[in-house]
Amino acid sequence: MNTSPILPPEILFSAEGFAAGDDLKSRAAQKAEKLFRHRQPPLIRMRVHIERTVPHGQAARFVVRAQAERQGADCVAHAEAAEPAPALNEALDKLERMLAGEAGARKHTKHHPRDIDVPSALPKV
């Protein structure tokens, strides 16, 4: 039995090109907390990076990169919008769908295993 205490989730938030307010940071933390409910494989930490870009002759855009670090391959989601809050929501929703899809695929293979491929016929005993 595993008796190790559950560590508090680590959420790293960074903003580039603008000053992120406390409301945006709390929204990112609140939405990222939901992702830590995925247990197989458990998330180690979340990284959320918001960057303000201004293409030549166009309005400012906010690019969000959300990364869920875990054992194995990390999950990364990108989103872009005119405001930081909708871009943050979209990126974290993409990440949620990505993690939920992998959990569904893992459950499917657990409950529906494939037959063993044997090139010759097995003798009946």
Position 59 in a domain: yes
How confident is the model at residue 104, as a pLDDT? 64
Mean confidence (pLDDT) of the chain: 81
When divided into structural domains, the chain yields a total of 1
Flag whether the pTM goes above 0.85: no
Position 5 in a domain: no
Domain of residue 48, CATH code: 3.30.160.100
Cβ distance 81 to 44 under 8 Å? no
Give the containing element (helix H, strand E) for 110: helix 84-111
Domain that holds residue 19: 10-103
Work out the number of other CB atoms within 10 angstroms of the CB of residue 10. Answer: 13
Nearest 5°: phi and psi at 80?
A: -140, 135
Cβ distance 52 to 113 under 8 Å? no
Nearest 5°: phi and psi at 91?
A: -65, -45
Q: Which residue has the higher pLDDT, 75 or 110?
A: 75
How confident is the model at residue 1, as a pLDDT? 39
24-64 tens-digit pLDDT = 888 888 888 888 877 677 788 889 999 999 988 889 999 99
How confident is the model at residue 43, as a pLDDT? 83
Position 49 in a domain: yes
Position 68 in a domain: yes
Local confidence band at 109 (pLDDT 50, 70, 90 cut-offs): confident
